[in-house]
Amino acid sequence: MAKISKNQNLVGSWAFLIGVLLAVILGLIGDFSQTWTIVLVVVGLLVGLLNVVGSETNPFLMSGVSLIITSAFGGAVLANVPLVSNVLNSLLVIFVPATVIVAVKNVFSLAKD
Write out pLDDT tens, residues 13-64. 888 899 999 999 999 998 789 999 999 999 999 999 988 888 889 999 999 9
User: For 53-111, what is each residue's pLDDT tens digit?
Assistant: 888 899 999 999 999 999 999 989 999 999 999 999 999 999 999 999 999 999 998 99
State the pLDDT at residue 13.
Answer: 85
Q: Distance (Å, rounded) from C-alpha 83 to C-alpha 24?
A: 9
